[in-house]
Structures are given as structure tokens and as C-alpha cells.
A and B are shown apart, each in its own frame.
Chain A
Amino acid sequence: MSAQPLIRSHDVTRRFGAVEALGPLSLHGARGEFVSIVGPSGCGKSTMLEIVGGLQRPDSGSVFVAGVPLEGPRDETAIVFQDSATLPWRTVLDNVAFSLEARGVARDERRDIARRGLETVGLAAFAAHYPAQLSGGMRQRVALARALVTEPDLILADEPFGALDEQTRLLMSDELLAVVDRLGCGVLFITHSIQEAVLLSDRILVMSARPGRIVDEITVPLERPRTSEVLSSTAAAECVSRIWALIRREAQVAMQGAS
């Protein structure tokens, strides 16, 4: 794993009207590192991810990606959303090619690359299908392929497997791990699932109730490469238990704040 910093944010805050949504929050992530953020609902996880993705601007604080102050969305950053964000009027192949099209890659070339991307996520046979003809898990794989074909140095994922059933979620996690290991890109991953965070991450950042801050940082003591089988290990179980203890208190605070 390279020690070169890929993401560095310092004292980021964000307000929505009178509501303090986030921060001050500082985080960092390196190339090749998989960092997950877990925390209670409404703590500002997605807001932080969108700030790092350049989709929102912080009210204060700074964000650097690849050593450059972030001014807006970067071409080298790929974002995978909870809802697959597939374009229903395009075939699966053209959905995957969309990111390349936005970069101005020629039609034949981008379709070739998109075909290889579909092979990576096991959907080569569905290239001519439309998203409505696929299951939720398959649509999410299309979104993943669309993110990967641009060969990003940073992947931001906002609960990408949140709407999937447990077995699909585990299989998708295995796929994501394999691809990320091969690409060597950095990942910032938002999830509600502690198990998913433990399975995927090198480090897990636990956020407080709103306004979200990092209350703890846990290094996952599991070797990489991994598959979902590691979840049955004692080390993984201890890690899940420790994170749950941290989150439980914050989730209770969030629930009391909401009621």
C-alpha cells in the first residue's frame, strides 16, 4: 500500500439553513486504501462523501485530493450511488460507456472499453439489455462497471449495496474487493452495515450523531486480499462488536434528537 495521501480534508463543516449537518471533520485516505465511514442515520456521511466528490462545497475547511485543492468534480474520481443511477433509455453497454462519452472518448473505443468493463462484473451477456430488464444487483454492477472503466484513482461509494439482499451484497462486496485490489485505487465507502465495513475496509471511521464528526478510527486487523468468508473469523467478529459498541451510543443520541 502506498503512503501517498489521496484525500486530505481538514475541519470541514457544512450547514443546511439553521441545521449544522457536519463537522468540523478531518479525514485522510491513501492510494490503495479502502476507508469506510459508518455512523447513525442523518449524521452527514453522504454530505461528506459529496464534498469529497466535489458535488457540494464545504462552508469552511479544506479538501485536497491527490494533493490539489478540490474545486469541483474530478475526472479521476468515480462515484457510485445507492440507487444505481443507470440511464433507463440506454442499453447496459451504453450506460457503462457513459462516463467515457462524457470524457470525449470516441464511440468505438468507449464501447470496446465498456465491453471489457462488463466482463469484469460478469454482465457481458447483458450488453444489449436495458436496465429495466435487470435485477437491482445487476443494475448496481452496471453502475460499478461504469465507475471502473474510467480507471479512477479514487472511488466514492454511497451505500452502493444498501438496496440489495444479503447474499447479493456479499457477492458484490467480493467483486468490489477484487477489482479495487487490481486497480490499486483509493476508496471512500459509506455504509450502514458494520459487517460490510469490516469485510471491505482497511480503516473504518465512526461518525457521531449530527453534526457528524469522527469519534473513532479502527484499523481492521484482517489480511488482504479477502473474501466474504473472513466474516466468520473471530477477528472480524471482535471488530464488528467493537464498532457496534461505538455506534450504538451515537445512534441512540441520533434517535433522541429525531424524536
Chain B
Amino acid sequence: MTAALPRYARPRPDRLLGLTPAVWTGVLAVLALAALEVLARTVVDPIDLVPPTTMVVRTAELLGTAGFVTGQVLPSLGLIAAAFALAGVAGVGLAYTMWRSPWWRLALQPYLNVYYAIPIFAVYPILVVLLGTGGVPIVLLSAAFGAVVVVTNSLLGFDSVPEPVRKLARSRNLGTRRYLTAILLPAALPDIASGLRLGLVYATIGVLATEFILSTRGLGHEIADAYHTFRTADMYAGILLICLLALALNIAVGAVLDRLDWRRR
């Protein structure tokens, strides 16, 4: 709730031991990593659980390896970007058609309600049969995984235009296109942004998980390959890299999307 308040109305955060909640977030991460380090070096076999410091070193080494960034990291990021863009455009577009047509919305709504109950990765072999291996089935599957959350959030946004504003628009004789650009999209933007944030998460999961299963390159494939060939340090380094990339991606895109959210001003 607090995040939806305008900036000037948000309460100042309480401090504990003189530290703000933001600092505590960092402290908790450092403590967790320290505990993992101690655990890996004292109790668990370092072959099974690689210490975080070793993970960091190995990640840096991998990033310095010729062809790793261009052959593994960039293709994964490219697929995530493509899946995210497709999920966003298709999700907002489908939501708009549903908002425009009540019968279409009623017809589709039951599918949306049960969509995430179906394990979508199960259809990956079908996509491979139809489209072959490579980026296309990964992007399609990941976009399909992320689009529905964009649809549901966009619909929420489109439905949120208050009645007086709708009447105001009608009284000014706004046409369909003008209503879309001047009223509907700006009003729905905060909810669309929330949907896109989640859509990015789903697209990232979709791409990496699909690469893990069947791809011949990419970060997901790299982790699976390291796992199958007992390169434990590489596997942990890959996992750390994925976590860091996903986090950075989420923060960067989130910062852009936050700028669209007028409720935060």
C-alpha cells in the first residue's frame, strides 16, 4: 500500500540499530552469504557446495573466457528481451481486445483463470517438432508463459478508469484512438507496468528453464552441461551469474517502469 502513496505522503522509514531498512536488506544478504561460506568450508563437502567466494572467482573467470559472453550470456539475454517484448505487446494487445469486447472477454476469461495451472513447459517438445530447436520455440514458450500476467494486470488497469473520467471523455467527443492514448493507456499504465514487471520475471524463468531442458547454448544450457559433466564450480558460477543478471535486469527494467507509474509521484 505504501508504495502507491505519493512520495510526499510516504512515511519515513523506521531505523533499527541506526540502520534503515534498505541497509538491513544488504546486511541480511551479506550475513546469508557469510553463513553459506562457513557452511561450505566447514560442514559440507566443497565439491557439493561451492563457497560463495569461489563462485565469484569462477564467475569472473567464466566471464573472461573467450566466447562465453558472446556464446552463452548474450544469446540468453537476447531471448529474454525478445520474449519479454512479445509478452508485453501481445499481453497488452490481447487485454485491449478483451476490454473492448465483453463477449470476447467472457469467452477467454475461463482460460486465463486456469492458465497457470497447466505446466506450459510440457508443450516444449511439440514446439520443437513444429519449429525445430533454436531461439524461436524458446521465445514463443517464454512469451506465452509471461503474457497472461500482463493480460490480467492490463485488464485491471483498463477497468480502473473512474466513471467521471469516462463521462468527461465522452463529453469531449474523444474518438476511440484519442481515448486510448489520452485516457485509457495513461490510466492503466501503473497496472500495465506491474504486469510487465512480472512478465519480465516469467520471461526470464521461461528462457532459462527452456534452455536448461533442450537448448544447445545459452546460460541455462551451460548450467545443465556443467551439472551433467560434474563441473560443480562452473554450475554454481552459472547459477550465481543467472541470479545476478536476473536481479540487475529486474532492477533496471523496474526503474524504467516505475517512471511510468504516476501513483508514485
Residues of A with Cβ closer than 8 Å to B?
50, 53-55, 72-73, 75, 77-79, 81-85, 87-90, 98-99, 101-103, 130, 132-133
Residues of B with Cβ closer than 8 Å to A?
6, 8, 162, 164-165, 167-168, 170-174, 178, 182-183, 186-187, 189, 262-263, 265
Once the chains bind, are B164 and A102 in contact (CB under 8 Å)?
no
Q: Which residues of B contact A130 (CB under 8 A)?
A: 6, 262, 265
Partner of A81 from B164, B173, B187 at Cβ < 8 Å: B164
- Among B164, B165, B173, the most chain A Cβ lie within 10 Å of the Cβ of B164
Name B5's closest neighbour in chain A (CB-CB).
A132
Once the chains bind, are B167 and A89 in contact (CB under 8 Å)?
no
Q: How far is the CA of A84 from the CA of B189 in the complex (A)?
A: 21
A-B contact pairs, 16 of them (CB 8 A): A53-B171, A55-B170, A55-B171, A84-B164, A87-B187, A88-B263, A89-B186, A89-B189, A98-B182, A99-B172, A101-B182, A102-B172, A102-B178, A102-B182, A130-B262, A133-B6
- Among B8, B162, B171, the most chain A Cβ lie within 10 Å of the Cβ of B171
Chief secondary structure at chain B's binding surface: helix
Given contacts A81-B167, A130-B265, 14 further A-B contacts (CB under 8 A): A55-B167, A55-B170, A73-B173, A77-B171, A81-B164, A82-B164, A85-B164, A87-B165, A89-B187, A90-B186, A98-B172, A98-B182, A102-B172, A130-B262
Name A90's closest neighbour in chain B (CB-CB).
B186
Chief secondary structure at chain A's binding surface: loop
What is the distance, in angstroms, from A41's C-beta to the closest C-beta of chain B? 18
Partner of B167 from A72, A77, A79, A98 at Cβ < 8 Å: A79
Q: How far is the CA of A157 from the CA of B173 in the complex (A)?
A: 18
Once the chains bind, are A85 and B172 in contact (CB under 8 Å)?
no
Q: How far is the CA of A87 from the CA of B165 in the complex (A)?
A: 7
Q: How far is the CA of A55 from the CA of B164 in the complex (A)?
A: 12
Q: Which residues of B contact A102 (CB under 8 A)?
A: 172-174, 178, 182
Q: Which residues of A contact B168 (CB under 8 A)?
A: 79, 81, 85, 98
Q: How far is the CA of A7 from the CA of B140 in the complex (A)?
A: 59
What is the distance, in angstroms, from B257's C-beta to the closest C-beta of chain A? 14
What is the distance, in angstroms, from B21's C-beta to the closest C-beta of chain A? 24
A-B pairs with the 8 shortest C-beta distances? A85-B164, A89-B262, A102-B172, A81-B164, A83-B164, A85-B168, A89-B186, A79-B171
Q: How far is the CA of A186 from the CA of B178 in the complex (A)?
A: 29
Name A87's closest neighbour in chain B (CB-CB).
B165
What is the distance, in angstroms, from B28's C-beta to the closest C-beta of chain A? 33
Q: Which residues of B contact A77 (CB under 8 A)?
A: 171
Once the chains bind, are A85 and B170 in contact (CB under 8 Å)?
no
Name A77's closest neighbour in chain B (CB-CB).
B171
